[in-house]
Amino acid sequence: MSDATSSGRTGRIRLLLAAAVGAGLPFLAYGIGLVAFSGPVSGALCPTAGLECLPFLGGLTAGATFALSWALLALTGVRPSGRVALAGSCATVTVAVAAVALVTMLRVTLGPLLPLAIVPVTVAGFVIAAAVIKPGRT
């Protein structure tokens, strides 16, 4: 097997692993958000439980999700996992903003499918990040 074929196959596997991590992140973020916004965690961190708590608890959820994506990318062997996690998170936000703009422009209503629409957005963000960032050491 030539080096070009081997590196192409490795590159595709790297993209598939990044896509798998991206596909799981919305569900992890949802679980983290449930824990952060409910019960004793929310009461301890933000006793007023008003809208002023939203940025803090949302940031906590985003930070925990980023840390988990970094760990999952490292466990799956996508290197450099920290840079791919950071770029994947940024690319996800960029793709999400573009998707919202497109949906708004086309006047499409997603209704109950809206929560599931985030999965392809995070997959796209992490695949873009893994494709753009050169493989290497963490």
pLDDT in tens, 74-107: 999 999 999 999 999 999 989 888 888 888 888 8
Round to whole Å and give the CA distance between 135 and 26.
25
On whether the CB atoms of residues 82 and 27 are closer than 8 A, the answer is no
- Read off the pTM: 0.82
Low-confidence stretches of the chain (pLDDT < 50) are: 1-4
Structure tokens at 41: 């965690």
On the CB side of 51, CA atoms within 13 Å amount to 0
Question: Helix or strand or coil: residue 20?
Answer: helix
